[in-house]
């Protein structure tokens, strides 16, 4: 992607532009965050839209940029456990999970320290905080250059699929919407959002399946409870508008494809005429990495709907099925969401 000239907005921050993760531009991005600007950056899961997690106004601008109808709590990204413990409390289970999976695609919901400097916008006033140490070298470099904890939801407008390429972010924020920089770090390796586990209470509870499998987490802390309630604390767990703009059906056998629908398949022995296959070898990690890219690619005029074949409900397949169920539950009509779209108040 070519670099645009570094023009400035009214606050002296760079105007919306895509940059490469050079040492110079990572320094610039760090300064932008410290000054209260917004930087979209790659993580190993999906691209995040970051702001200084201690700056109320900066975090409020994330919600504005995303058109997020409600102030949901955000994940705070930090360099390591030591930085996280400046504002969050780790019990034994939290420590065991952090040691096993950080840096990586696991978010822990922890008790927030009372004297924490985190913005109340970041935690939506809760006494817990969601924290993650990203493994992506560009995310780590940005954390180093900014020197601040970074609050970042996925870098999509509210209601649309998470971005796994810088171009996806660019397409979502066509008019800038207050985003200062997008750091292009290539494709996200995992391709699905992080797994969220609440370890703030006595029983570790799965709030959202994601890039680390439930099986791997249970091998460290034993069986996870699943948050079953359809309200409050786990917005990421609810059915939501989180969807391509055309209808999506799940668990469809190839022979049951309807006229005008295109097939999204998985594994060998699939009809060759299928438009796209998430993983011809049946590898769930590869399927996860391809999921959002393929959903976007199939979300085109002329295609009436997407029919997805059954995906095994194991390992990363659980997270893939979770995202597909949401996409099939709420289809936003008329392309990526606009401010006027009647979107739900639930966001993942």
Which residues in this chain contact ligand TXA in the complex, by CB under 6 A? 43, 45-46, 48, 72-75, 107, 109, 123, 126, 128-130, 132, 152-154, 193-194, 196, 207, 233-236, 347-348
Give residue number: closest CB to Mg ion.
Answer: 154
Using the minimum distance from each CB to Mg ion, give the nearer residue, 156 or 277.
156
Binds 288: which of ligand TXA, Mg ion, none (CB < 5-8 Å by kind) = none
What contacts 237, CB < 8 A, 6 or more positions away?
Answer: 207, 208, 227
DSSP 268-297: SS--TT-SEES-TT--HHHHHHHHHHHHHH
Q: Are 152 and 61 in contact (CB under 8 A)?
A: no
Does 195 participate in binding Mg ion (rule CB under 5 A)? no
Using the minimum distance from each CB to Mg ion, give the nearer residue, 43 or 200.
43
Using the minimum distance from each CB to ligand TXA, give the nearer residue, 72 or 285.
72
Give residue number: closest CB to ligand TXA.
Answer: 236
> What length is written for the chain?
348
Find the shortest distance in angstroms from Cβ 100 to ligand TXA.
17
Find the shortest distance in angstroms from Cβ 4 to ligand TXA.
24
Using the minimum distance from each CB to ligand TXA, give the nearer residue, 169 or 196.
196
| Gap between the Cα atoms of 320 and 328, Å rounded | 12
Binds 74: which of Mg ion, ligand TXA, none (CB < 5-8 Å by kind) = ligand TXA
Q: Are 39 and 50 in contact (CB under 8 A)?
A: yes
State the sign of the Cα–Cα–Cα–Cα dihedral 61, 62, 66, 68.
negative
Find the shortest distance in angstroms from Cβ 156 to Mg ion.
6
Does 154 participate in binding Mg ion (rule CB under 5 A)? yes
Binds 128: which of ligand TXA, Mg ion, none (CB < 5-8 Å by kind) = ligand TXA
Q: Is 167 exposed, middle or buried (0-12, 13-18, 19+ CB in 10 A)?
A: middle
Give first-to-last CA distance, the chain, whole Å: 28
What contacts 289, CB < 8 A, 6 or more positions away?
Answer: 164, 187, 188, 189, 190, 191, 192
Using CB under 5 A as the criterion, which residues of the chain lie in contact with Mg ion when the complex forms? 153-154, 348
């Amino acid at each position: 992607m070519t670099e645009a000239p570094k023009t400035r907005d009214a606050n002296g921050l760079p105007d919306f532009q895509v940059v490469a993760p050079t040492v110079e531009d990572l320094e610039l991005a760090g300064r932008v965050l410290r000054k209260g600007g917004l930087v979209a950056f790659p993580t190993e899961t999906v691209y995040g839209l970051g702001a200084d997690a201690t700056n109320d106004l900066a975090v409020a601008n994330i919600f504005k940029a995303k058109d997020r109808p409600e102030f949901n709590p955000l994940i705070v990204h930090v360099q390591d456990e030591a930085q996280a413990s400046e504002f969050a409390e780790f019990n034994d289970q939290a420590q065991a999970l952090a040691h096993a999976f950080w840096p990586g695609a696991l978010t822990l919901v922890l008790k927030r320290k009372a004297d924490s400097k985190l913005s109340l916008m970041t935690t939506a006033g809760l006494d817990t905080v969601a924290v993650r140490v990203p493994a992506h070298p560009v995310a780590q470099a940005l954390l180093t250059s900014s020197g601040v904890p970074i609050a970042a939801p996925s870098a999509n407008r509210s209601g649309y699929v998470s971005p796994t390429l810088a171009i996806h972010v660019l397409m979502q924020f066509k008019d800038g919407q207050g985003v200062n920089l997008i750091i292009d770090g290539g494709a996200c390796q995992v391709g699905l959002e992080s797994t969220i586990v609440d370890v703030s209470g006595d029983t570790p509870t799965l709030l959202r399946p994601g890039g680390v499998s439930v099986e791997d987490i249970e091998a460290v802390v034993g069986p996870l409870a699943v948050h079953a309630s359809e309200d409050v604390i786990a917005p990421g767990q609810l059915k939501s508008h989180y969807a391509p703009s055309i209808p999506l059906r799940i668990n469809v056998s190839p022979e049951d494809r309807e006229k005008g629908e295109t097939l999204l398949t998985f594994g060998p022995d699939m009809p060759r005429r299928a438009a796209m296959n998430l993983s011809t070898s049946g590898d769930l990690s590869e399927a996860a990495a391809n999921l959002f890219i393929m959903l976007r690619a199939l979300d085109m005029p002329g295609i009436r709907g997407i029919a997805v074949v059954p995906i095994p409900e194991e390992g990363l397949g659980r997270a893939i099925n979770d995202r597909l169920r949401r996409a099939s539950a709420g289809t936003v009509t008329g392309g990526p969401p606009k401010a006027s779209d009647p979107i739900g108040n639930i966001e993942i």
